[in-house]
Structure 1
Amino acid sequence: MGIQDIIEGKKQWRAHMARVKALPPDYQVVYREMQKYLFKVGPVDLSDGQPLSGIVDFFEEGAATGKGVLELIGKDVAAFCDDLIKDSRTYADIYQESLSQETGTAGN
C-alpha cells in the first residue's frame, strides 16, 4: 500500500463520514453504535467499506422518506448487524479455524 492509496483511503473515509454527519441525529447515533459493533465483531470484508457504505445508503433512503431509524432496523441494533453479516466471514471465524487446525495437528 503506497502513500497515494493511504491518501485516497482517507479522502473516501472523510466523504463517508460527511454523509453520516448529514443524517438526522438519531440515525447518527445508531450508525455509530453499528460501526462500533461491526468493528468489534470484525467481518473480514469490512475493510473494503461495503457494509458501512450500504448502511449509510439505507439510512439516507429511510431519512428521505421521513422514517425513524428504529422503524427501519428494529429495536435490536446488534441483531440487525448480525443479520447483515450472517454470510460474511469474520476474524473470529478465522481464529476458530486456526485453533481447530492446531488442535488437529497436536494429536498427530
Structure 2
Amino acid sequence: MGIQDIIEGKKQWRAHMARVKALPPDYQIVYKEIQRYLFKVGPTDLLGDSLLPGLVDFFEEGVAAGKGVLQLTGNDVAAFCDDLIKDSPTYAQIYQESIDSK
C-alpha cells in the first residue's frame, strides 16, 4: 500500500462521513451505533465491499421517503447488523480458521 492509496482512502472516508453528517440526527445516531458494532465484529471489507456506503444509500432513501430510521432497521439494530454481515467473513472467523488448520 503506497502513500497514494492511503491518501485516496482518506478522501473516500471523508466523503463518506460527509454523507453521514448530512443525514438527520436520529439517522446519524443509528449509523454511528451500527458502525461501532461492525468495527467490533470486524467484517473484513467495510468500505470496499460497499457495506457502509450501501447503508448510507439505504438511509438516504429512507429519509427521502419520510421514514424514521427504526422503520428501516427495526428496533433491534444489532440483529439488523448481523443480517447485513451474515455472509461476510470476519476477522474473528479468519483467525479461528487459521487456528483450526494448525
Q: Which has the higher helix share?
A: 1
Residues 86 and 28 of structure 1, relative CA distance in 2, 3 Å threshold: same
RMSD (Å), alpha carbons: 1.1
Partner of 2:31: 31
Q: 1:56-75 CA distances to partner (integer Å, 9 max, x unpaired)?
A: 00000001111000000101
Identify unmatched segments of 5+ residues in structure 2: none
Identify unmatched segments of 5+ residues in structure 1: 103-108
Q: 1:26-61 CA distances to partner (integer Å, 9 max, x unpaired)?
A: 000000000000011011122525110000000000
- Structure 2 CA distance, aligned partners of 1:96 and 1:7? 32
Number of positions where the alignment pairs a residue of Structure 1 with one of Structure 2? 102
- Structure 2 CA distance, aligned partners of 1:81 and 1:52? 11
Q: 4+ residue stretches of structure 1 with deviation over 4 A?
A: none
Identity level (%): 77
1:5: Cα distance to partner?
1.2
TM-score, with length taken from structure 1: 0.90
CA radius of gyration, larger in: 1
| Matching of residue 61 in structure 1 with residue 37 in structure 2 | no
TM-score, with length taken from structure 2: 0.95
1:99: Cα distance to partner?
2.0
